[in-house]
Amino acid sequence: MEPDLIINDLKYKKNTKFYDLARVPKKVGPLMRFLEKIIIHFLRFGQSRSITKINMETLGPRDVFLTLCNHTTLMDLVVGIDIMFPRTIHYLMSIEGLSVFPYKLFEAGGVFCKRRFNSDVSIVRVFKKLVSSNQLVGLFPEARFSVTGELSSIPTSTGKICKYLGIPVVVMLFHGHYLVEPNWGNGKRRKLPIHCEQKLILTKEQVETMSVQQINEVIKKELYYNEWDYQKQNNILIKEDFRAEGLEKILYKCPHCASEFVMSTHRTHLKCNNCGAEYLYHEDSHLECLNFPTIFTSISDWLHWERKKVREEIEAGTYYYHEVLQTYAYPHPMNILDLGLVEVTHDLNGFKAKGRYNGADFVFFKKPQQNFSLQTEFSCRSFNRQDIFAFSTNNNTLFFIPHNPMVIQKLYFATEELYNIKCEK
């Protein structure tokens, strides 16, 4: 007799495919490396690139090391592979990224996968096997595209992985990728220069002698970036006349009337449709209010204010989100399941998703301490450029498509602040 309710899983249909996250990628052959070079040249789309190397001369041409990268766009993966050429680097990426191209192409290129913000010991074993066979490995500790253009929070497990592998650690900082294609920018690219800084931050001996906490402190310091400061310091101007379009997805709360989800953009302007406050997004990325006193001159400050307001709601016990959403499950890149309409709640107790699939009711729970962040993506390539948020279990990921994409950024802040509050307690 089947259960009345399935918890944190689904009643799968026969022959449902599941992706093997424990799969160890094979060595990349010369033909694939040549094909990668062609694909990368196409994806860079004429972007000029420069690179600075620091302390890298201490590593030999066959030395194995772990590369940690900041993460703002898919271009980070593309350029990271290109910079390491002719050596192959095996990057850990989120499983839904496999549907951007035929997933076999990613596998042939040496990529291996996990589900975001979900503990999976098998991934660490894959790292170890690759390192043991003298292969380079790479990791994006932020595990999601930065919304603010600054370093997002990173898990403490990053230092544990470094300690476990016991090899040198290199940081690769990509500058300009966020400015070229911010994740809120509706998939439109600006033509701007990009720069990469590759730096050895920990030797093998340092990794062996330092504590996990000390390693994490070094990583957090060396991985820090701020794209707004980078733009200012390098006098970079964004001349495209669509540069403000999409900003309403992250600047969802008006600082003048405090209304939420009523913002709109057109070309270089951001406007509140409630009180009429209108901001001009200048070429140097500073903001100017055209009809009221300017409250925020930077996107970063506006975002930090929104986060603060969400935390105040949580502390006051008034934070609550509830919506019935179109939902998909993702057990395998070639097997995306349509779960139909699912009732989704996010409150002080975390996430709850309740629905029905294949003749059985299901409910998924994610407590605040189980998600140090929320998977969000605007103009998601895997879902026909729709705006989504998601959370994962061991063998599946649920993707939700909200009616108003402006709620996504608030859910992102709330998830992180609920986690932070739990940690503080």
DSSP 254-291: -TTT--BS-EEEETTEEEETTT--EEEE-TTS-EEESS
Radius of gyration of the chain, Cα coordinates, nearest whole angstrom = 22
Terminal CA-CA length for the chain: 43
357 three-class SS: strand
Which among 249, 24, 250, 238 is positioned nearest to 128, based on CA atoms? 24
CA distance 106 to 115: 16
The model carries a pTM of 0.93
pLDDT class of 1 with cuts at 50, 70, 90: very low
Give Cα 104 distance to the centre of its chain.
22
CA distance 391 to 398: 6
More confident residue, 335 or 267: 267
Q: Examine the pLDDT at 332 and tell me if it is beyond 70.
A: yes
Give Cα 323 distance to the centre of its chain.
24
Residues in the chain: 425
Instruction: Say what the pLDDT of residue 201 is.
Output: 98
Instruction: Say what the pLDDT of residue 425 is.
Output: 76
Q: Which residue has the tokens 């399941």?
A: 337
Instruction: Say what the pLDDT of residue 3 is.
Output: 59
423 three-class SS: helix
What does the pLDDT average to over 252-256? 98
What does the pLDDT average to over 291-311? 97
CA-to-CA dists, residue 258 to 290, 291, 314, 410, angstroms: 18, 16, 17, 14
pLDDT class of 116 with cuts at 50, 70, 90: confident
CA distance 69 to 131: 18
CA distance 74 to 85: 18
What does the pLDDT average to over 311-332? 97
Q: Where are the alpha helices (DSSP H) in 142-224?
A: 157-165, 177-180, 204-209, 212-222
Q: CB neighbours of 143 closer than 8 A, spacing ≥ 6? A: 71, 94, 116, 117, 154, 155, 373
Among the residue ranges 1-10, 42-51, 294-303, 337-346, the one predicted with the least confidence is 42-51
β-pairing verdict for 169-175 and 66-69: parallel
Domains of the chain: 20-233 (3.40.1130.10), 247-316 (no CATH), 321-424 (2.30.29.30)
CA distance 154 to 73: 17
- Percent of the chain's residues with pLDDT above 90: 72
Instruction: Say what the pLDDT of residue 94 is.
Output: 87
DSSP bridge pairs for 380: 386
pLDDT digits (tens, 9 = 90+) for 378-423: 988 888 889 999 999 888 999 999 999 999 999 999 999 999 999 8
Q: CB neighbours of 79 closer than 8 A, spacing ≥ 6? A: 40, 44, 49, 174, 177, 194, 196
Which two tokens mark 298?
């930077």
**Strand residue runs (E) in 120-193:** 136-139, 169-175
More confident residue, 153 or 213: 213
What does the pLDDT average to over 213-219? 97
What does the pLDDT average to over 92-115? 83
Instruction: Say what the pLDDT of residue 37 is.
Output: 74
